[in-house]
Chain A
């Protein structure tokens, strides 16, 4: 089978991004803010912002004086960092795997200086939102966008778009990883960089601490192209700089963006004139060459003089990127297989019921080969669900939440079916207190998520009664309680236990009685517990002996009349 050809669509993406007038609108907002501010104040190192409301969107523009930005950003040789552990703004980005990251100090200071003036509820508006800024204003815009993402509901609202013009890099690899992990977040950032602007390149040092995130639109007189891969972006930022080093008057650079934004509209209608070097037949290579040509890296009339290194490096990165995108976790691919295992479990449960013992005890006593066969299914299911719980946890709250609700039904079914078997294993080993000491984490998480989800309204209680025969016990830890009750009984009847221990056993047995009775009243427990061979019945027989036949309680009244067992199963108790 022939390999699928890879393409690189940076040029197409760039064309698409420049077609609606959003770049123009964003830049107009910034220039207006510039004009306003320069009329009122002298250049300084502060940041100004303003909200504009053209017809089709809302724009929040951040402006900093271009002259001061370069030096300000560089600060003490560009090494000024603020670690995420020292401030609370972006804590939500930290996850188990990525606990810390750093942000450029001047950018953060500017952001915090106006944070409290910034609107918090722009997202309530139904118009799509653009957040934009130039130079350090762009950094502030990025940080502001990041702060909005914390509580953003991607399912119901349209994503905001942050467009920066000539902004320096903001954070380290930790920040880049945190943002790039979720394609939805990364897609909110578009950084426009001109080949004549030194500011975006200011923080690219030899040590390579600063890393880019989001999509970069690199521009030159010939055109522009988009790039996503961080390493490629860093290389190309360095390679495309065409201004002179040293002192660069920043004001014409400011205007460069204005001209670019005006002209690019018309450029898309014209053909590109890239000539490919001979024998370029691979589409990926050809795409990359056209992209490099658009940003000015290909000498016009002599295509063979292109720097082959850059092409090869870029090609390699593109291939790596394409590969990594394929490995995204997707639980739905294995779902139907998982269902087959659950079906096996269901059948096992039914067979055990027919043998009058209930699957919990059948498994506990391991009397049949089917009890061993089921272990394989259990293992596969547990692997699957552990992985899923892990993945959902790794994601920060907003992104993980949707993953959790989708799989909640399946996860709850799994928990109610399989946890009893894990409990059997635990107590078989002679251990105690499963709920507090032995319970695996993924069950705890699954139960927690179920409790956090609001139940659908209006569930008719009658149908619970009619169908109680086929349900799984709602509380997946029911059997752990039964085992503890059995242990308490032994405590009471055995020798060698102190009076205090006996009293606490009596108390816990009493609590267990009420608990069991409560479940039965709500038809929340499977009728299999009444089967002759079940541990629950075993407990009852022992308990009856301990308490004596004259003992009367709600539960004992129910249990003494064995016709009630069948009545419960048919919902007519």
Chain B
């Protein structure tokens, strides 16, 4: 999987033929040594480029030469996942879970000692493809497994004699790992450690997020209710000091979440982060609570004139990401969890109607109404959008009479 099909096509076909033939008829299959060693060389060469590129990133290389050269070579996007068990020749089982380390090990465990070995090794590896059953039977009998953890404390030289890592060291020696290989594995371990530490530092920010959100959920919302306005409209009008405070909280939260998203984009958080239940829930709560305020700010300052509609160019990444988290965890279709963008849709419909009239927009309005029905029923959208003074209510009242009479949400609007 690490080599592009174009470079190995010819040889691969022959190898597949060989493997096919062999599985059917063990004795009579043979393959030209030239082909097999060529195949091996090509695959290893491509694997080498994938693995060294990955290793550069693991080691924190910031030289942009990496990018410049990447323009000339297509890199395989495939990565391993899950737990890998590497069988050494003598019955030991080496177990590894870190995907970056597995990638490196896939390459380094197949390295040749000398160039001349190539034909020999190539031939042997193809044969080994059929040897799993036997090897595993043996290994299960011996039960000699070694966990390569913690990776960042891997012994770097093969003759290290410190006792507690002796087992690990001998496993590494059995796999035939050079110093360079060990350094790459060590780097993979360091990266994992760094990611875990980053997550811990983010977890420390949870109380701040909770505090700010609590202010908005309870204090601000009840204050708006007292004024008979929904949060969206109150915020957009910015009349009282409460609205100002809400704005400050909005910016605070934006700062914290933007930092988290930046870390994610740079792959500085553990892979599992985006699926963690508590963060997904927190993200969804945040999105539903604060995105309407961001939308209010956007349209109040007419940013749509400079930048375009909120949904198209203006939507901050922190909302896109948290929405994707929820959709992924709850296995919803992509883009279906758009309840927090309700107000953006309303604003855009208002603008479109004033320039194009009702009929061309009718379809979109019907769609929105259906969604509103759904969201209110599932309590994903706050009922304050239906308040008398809300922009939505006022706008909806302004629609043509025939539409209102037949609309799905006319019952909601009357309450």
**Interchain CB contact (< 8 A) of B48 among A158, A188, A215, A269:** A269
B237-287 interface (Cβ within 8 A of A): 238, 241, 244, 247-248, 251-252, 254-255, 258
Contact B300–A470 (Cβ < 8 Å): yes
Contact B302–A8 (Cβ < 8 Å): no
B406 close to A (CB within 8 Å): no
A273 close to B (CB within 8 Å): yes
In the complex, what's the smallest C-beta–C-beta distance from B153 to chain A, in angstroms? 9
C-alpha spacing A225/B270, complex, angstroms: 31
Q: In this complex, what residue of B is CB-closest to A343?
A: B247
Q: What are the interface flags for B134-161 relative to A under an 8 Å C-beta threshold, 1 for contact and 0 otherwise?
A: 0000000000000000001000111000
Q: In this complex, what residue of A is CB-closest to B244?
A: A347
Contact A270–B113 (Cβ < 8 Å): yes
Q: What chain A residues lie within 8 Å of B61 (beta carbons)?
A: 9, 12-13
In the complex, what's the smallest C-beta–C-beta distance from A452 to chain B, in angstroms? 16
Contact B183–A283 (Cβ < 8 Å): yes
Q: Decide: A337 near B52, CB < 8 A? Known: A17-B69, A290-B179.
A: no
C-alpha spacing A470/B307, complex, angstroms: 17
Q: What are the interface flags for A378-391 relative to B under an 8 Å C-beta threshold, 1 for contact and 0 otherwise?
A: 00000000000000
Q: What are the interface flags for B36-47 relative to A under an 8 Å C-beta threshold, 1 for contact and 0 otherwise?
A: 000001001110
Contact A274–B180 (Cβ < 8 Å): yes
Q: What chain B residues lie within 8 Å of A11 (beta carbons)?
A: 180
A264-301 interface (Cβ within 8 A of B): 265-276, 278, 280-281, 283, 286-287, 290
Q: What chain B residues lie within 8 Å of A228 (beta carbons)?
A: 63
B194 close to A (CB within 8 Å): yes
Residue among A183, A276, A337 facing the most chain B CB atoms (10 A cut-off): A276
How many A residues, CB 8 Å from partner?
70
Q: In this complex, what residue of A is CB-closest to B114?
A: A270
Q: What chain A residues lie within 8 Å of B73 (beta carbons)?
A: 19-20, 22
Contact B255–A336 (Cβ < 8 Å): yes
Residue among B60, B152, B241, B355 facing the most chain A CB atoms (10 A cut-off): B60
**Interchain CB contact (< 8 A) of B187 among A7, A337, A470:** A7
Contact B45–A13 (Cβ < 8 Å): no
**Interchain CB contact (< 8 A) of A19 among B52, B62, B115:** B52
- Sorting the interface of chain B by its residue count into under 10, 10 to 19, 20 to 34 or 35 or more gives 35 or more
In the complex, what's the smallest C-beta–C-beta distance from A398 to chain B, in angstroms? 15
Q: What chain A residues lie within 8 Å of B97 (beta carbons)?
A: none
C-alpha spacing A13/B49, complex, angstroms: 9
Contact A13–B180 (Cβ < 8 Å): no
Contact B71–A271 (Cβ < 8 Å): no
Q: What are the interface flags for B89-131 relative to A under an 8 Å C-beta threshold, 1 for contact and 0 otherwise?
A: 0000000000000000000100111110010000000000000
Contact A339–B251 (Cβ < 8 Å): yes
Q: In this complex, what residue of B is CB-closest to A328?
A: B62
Q: In this complex, what residue of A is CB-closest to B247?
A: A343
Contact A22–B45 (Cβ < 8 Å): no
Contact A286–B179 (Cβ < 8 Å): yes
In the complex, what's the smallest C-beta–C-beta distance from A162 to chain B, in angstroms? 10
In the complex, what's the smallest C-beta–C-beta distance from A217 to chain B, in angstroms? 10
B67 close to A (CB within 8 Å): yes
A249-257, A459-467, A489-497, A498-506: which lies at the interface: A459-467
Contact B248–A343 (Cβ < 8 Å): yes
Q: What chain B residues lie within 8 Å of A276 (beta carbons)?
A: 156-157, 179
C-alpha spacing A167/B185, complex, angstroms: 36
**Interchain CB contact (< 8 A) of B302 among A5, A281, A347, A471:** A471
Q: Decide: A12 near B179, CB < 8 A? Known: A20-B73, A275-B157, A280-B156.
A: no
Contact A161–B252 (Cβ < 8 Å): no
Contact B72–A128 (Cβ < 8 Å): yes
Q: What chain A residues lie within 8 Å of B252 (beta carbons)?
A: 336, 340
Contact A470–B66 (Cβ < 8 Å): no
A186 close to B (CB within 8 Å): yes
Contact B179–A5 (Cβ < 8 Å): no
Q: What chain A residues lie within 8 Å of B290 (beta carbons)?
A: none
Contact A15–B48 (Cβ < 8 Å): yes
Contact B355–A460 (Cβ < 8 Å): yes
Contact A470–B156 (Cβ < 8 Å): no
Contact A7–B63 (Cβ < 8 Å): no
Contact B65–A13 (Cβ < 8 Å): yes
In the complex, what's the smallest C-beta–C-beta distance from B118 to chain A, in angstroms? 8
A513-561 interface (Cβ within 8 A of B): none
Knowing that A13-B65, A161-B72, A268-B45 touch, tell me 16 more A-B residue pairs with CB under 8 angstroms: A13-B52, A15-B48, A16-B69, A20-B49, A22-B73, A158-B68, A183-B62, A186-B64, A187-B67, A269-B41, A269-B112, A270-B113, A275-B157, A276-B157, A280-B157, A459-B305
- What would be 24 A-B contacts, judged by CB atoms less than 8 Å apart? A7-B183, A12-B52, A128-B71, A130-B72, A187-B65, A266-B115, A268-B45, A269-B111, A270-B112, A270-B113, A271-B181, A275-B158, A290-B179, A290-B180, A339-B251, A340-B251, A340-B252, A347-B241, A347-B247, A456-B306, A456-B308, A459-B305, A463-B302, A470-B300
- Give the A-binding residues of B (Cβ under 8 A): 41, 44-46, 48-49, 52-53, 55-56, 58-69, 71-73, 108, 111-115, 118, 152, 156-158, 176, 178-181, 183-184, 186-187, 190, 194, 197, 238, 241, 244, 247-248, 251-252, 254-255, 258, 300-303, 305-308, 351, 354-355
